[in-house]
Amino acid sequence: MGDREDVATIVELRPDRQDMNERLDKYLAAHLADHGLSRSYLQLLIDLGNVTVDGVVRRAKFKMTPGQVVTVTVPAPAVEALEPENIPLAILYEDEDVIVLDKPAGLVVHPAPGHTTGTLVNALLHHAPVINVGGSTRPGIVHRLNKVTSGVMVVAKTDRARTTLVSQWEARQVLKHYVALVTGVVEPAEGTIDAPIGRDPVQRQRMAVTPRGRTAVTHFTVSRRFAESTLLDLDLETGRTHQIRVHLAFIQHPLVGDQIYGRRDQRPFLLDRQFLHACRLSFRLPGGAPLTVESPLPPDLQSVLAELDTQAPIDG
């Protein structure tokens, strides 16, 4: 979505061959999953005429055809709708300045239109009322994980913490380590993906490797190889939107379970999300002390690896 929080956002989608004859409402639900928009809210946008196909307002049952342009106008979220909610948080570290937590998959980080409750921000406002909202729908949020991504996140409780953390992110001083399972067997034991990322010129809701994109660098190391997949350790130099997903798809090894950048013919796993976990985060506290916090692999991802362990790994 856009960087401004006080204006409407316009998203353009372009159906491809796999979307032929898909209902408009189902198409939107599948392709806007990462934006945190609920199905009921998307239905409301359709009913209000905020969704057009080639400039014409269409109903939910309208069928998709490749070559069409679907335009969705999403109103700005209402800041006043934010309410504290007693949602349990898995806190890994906390002091007067920061909270480091273990975000579960399925938890949206900040409110979005049609999804103003049940988010991490709602939980934070209940747990730490001292967080300065400052007219934002993202109090304390200096970085985020997608709804379907689990793992370590740090949240600023004070202005000085936010300033310190933002400066570290901008200077690329934060160490971000992920674990990912990708489709196919990755041959080099390690490597670096240095490819600029920007908006996909055709499908505007997606990101893509593009010459006019912003610098993006991902380092990977093979942890284990299986017959049809590879477990990778990833370190990010930059933090572009969907960086890991785009870079892995770019080298023809998309994330297992990725519904946007993955291959339609990838081997099915007993997993209802992408296999990506932010397992370690290293940064400096406002006082200058270094801090490293780790998150163990959650049970659903452990189950996938346990299933793969019943097969003979190619190597360790």
For 149-193, the pLDDT digits (tens) are 999 999 999 888 988 998 999 899 999 999 999 999 999 999 999
**Strand ranges inside 82-172, DSSP E:** 91-94, 98-103, 150-156
pLDDT score for 312: 59
pLDDT score for 223: 97
pLDDT score for 313: 57
Place of tokens 């990977």: 220
Whether the CB-CB separation of 220 and 233 falls below 8 Å is answered with yes
Say which CATH architecture domain 79-170 belongs to.
2-Layer Sandwich (3.30)
Instruction: Pick 264 or 207 by higher pLDDT.
Output: 207
**Strand ranges inside 130-264, DSSP E:** 150-156, 175-183, 190-194, 197-199, 207-209, 217-225, 229-236
Residue 308 parent element (H or E): helix 299-309
In this structure, whether the domain defined by 175-309 belongs to CATH 1.10.1370.30 is answered with no
CATH class name, domain 9-74 = alpha beta
Q: What residue ranges of the chain are covered by domains with CATH 3.30.2350.10?
A: 79-170, 175-309
pTM: 0.76
List beta partners, residue 235: 177, 219
